[in-house]
Structures are given as structure tokens and as C-alpha cells.
Amino acid sequence: MRIGELAERAGTTTRTLRYYESRGLLPARRDTNGYRTYDEQDLRLLRQIRTLQDFGFGLEETRPFVECLRAGHPEGDSCPASLAVYRRKLDELDALIAELGAVRATVARQLARAERARKRLADEAVVPGGPEPVCELGGQTR
């Protein structure tokens, strides 16, 4: 098949396919007319790349999976190098989750502090149950 058909079947663009080719992820075969030609194996490679990228893997991180498929394995993640990439990605995700957890805890503490301060203001109001305090920017606090 030609590049346009492969791009359509893979749900991508010909420009992307040429980029993958330039990065050595997609083979560069040409027919006698000079047109790029691809087969079903190339479609499998593209689907592997796209799936991994959808999960947040960088293009270079897909290389071991592509090489595993090219080596004839039925799945791109059945080779040791692919498993190592999975492990590194899980470590990266765990670190990001921990970082987000810490940020969340900080925001929760700030919110609790702000709510206590607002309650103190309301309790000290001249008229209990009176109007809400007005924000310096002119809007009502809620």
C-alpha cells in the first residue's frame, strides 16, 4: 500500500509517517516508481506506536516495542527492552502521582486555612449573619 492509504488506515497523516521514517521507526521502502510502499506489518508497527503515544509514551520510548515487532515477536512488549520501558514509565508515573498527591495536600491545607479565616471574620462581624465580606477586587466571597 502507499503512504496515503497507510496514513488513513492508521488514523494519522502522511507527514507523521514521513517523520517516523526519518526517525528510523518506519521502514523506507520504495517501488520502481519511487513511491513509498508499506505492508500490514508496517500498519502493526504504527498501531503499536500510536497506542503507546496515546498512553503518554514519548516517540523514542516506542522504539523497543517497534524493534520487538520487527524481530518477529507477536507482541511489541514481549522483549526485555520493552519491559524495561514499561518499568521506567511506571516509575515515572508513580513519581508524578506522588508529586500530585503532595500538591493536592498543600492545596487542601490552604483551603482549610482560608475557610477557618473566613469563619473567624464572619464570627467577628458586627451583625451576626450579616452581609458576606467583600473581596478587595470588588467581588463577593463565597
pLDDT digits (tens, 9 = 90+) for 17-34: 999 999 999 988 999 998
Average pLDDT, integer, range 38-62:
95
Instruction: Give the CA count within 13 Å in the CB-facing half-sphere of 123.
Output: 6
pTM of the model: 0.75
Question: How far is 99 from 101, CA to CA, in rounded Å?
Answer: 5
User: For cell 520501558, what's the residue?
Assistant: 85
Residues contacting residue 85 through CB under 8 Å, at least 6 positions apart: 57, 61, 64, 65
Question: How far is 96 from 100, CA to CA, in rounded Å?
Answer: 6
